[in-house]
Amino acid sequence: MQFVLGFLLFVASINLWTLIVRPDLAQQVPPQFHFTGLIEVSAVGAACVALGGIYGFFRDRKKHGIGLAIISVLAGFGILHAYFSQLTAPPKTNEVQSSDSAPQVLDIEQAGVIPLEPFVVNLADLDAARYLRAKISIMVDDKTKMQVITDNDAVQFKIRDVILRVLTAKTSTDLVSQEGKDKLRQEIRYEVAPYFKSARMPMLVDVMFTEFVIQL
């Protein structure tokens, strides 16, 4: 009987606690702890029945022992505390990284660099004519596969076309700071990366500026 009353008190306590103290958590309580119908009435009723059972339990403490009653009460509070601590805790992140998200270690001796012809482009400034002169090199992970790119004019022209479109869309204000240059490098890398997806192609590692001059 005490187990039944204890369970009723536990369920009633969860509902009353969420309704009165933390109403923002009311929607987060699992469905098995919700009553159907009038939740407040059923919770209060269950609490009254449970409290009555506890009163009888304490009244008959010579038979059951006061120690067991204290342990039961403390256990109930411990369950409630552990439950709501878990409920309000932030979601755990997956500590095991997948092979795709794990940082890759570059073998610099095996890597190769493909220098592109210099770029001289008009920037997108509207108040004045400004141009950019840049030398850009592409770093790949395997220099033994570089010939696939250097011997293929179609790939080189496409890479150059993509980079030209990115550069001509920028203004001098976009590129004058180091942050702007870093963003440009990342954008070029993102736009060029799809052309390195073939199994015969080396993996694109980085885009590097070996010369970067803006005429202001």
Q: What is the pLDDT of residue 109?
A: 83
d(CA 131, CA 124): 9
| 173 touches 149 (CB < 8 A) | no
Q: How many CB atoms lie within 10 A of CB 205?
A: 19
Q: 40 is written with which tokens?
A: 């407040």
d(CA 199, CA 196): 8
Delineate the domains of the chain, giving CATH numbers in brackets.
Answer: 2-88 (no CATH), 112-214 (3.30.479.30)
| 163 touches 136 (CB < 8 A) | yes
Residue 60 identity (one-letter amino acid)? D
Question: pLDDT digit string (tens) for 117-137?
Answer: 999 999 999 999 999 999 999
Instruction: Indicate whether 165 pLDDT > 80.
Output: yes
- Residue 56 confidence class, pLDDT cut points 50, 70, 90: low
What whole-number percentage of the chain has pLDDT above 90?
A: 44
Predicted TM-score (pTM) of the model is 0.51
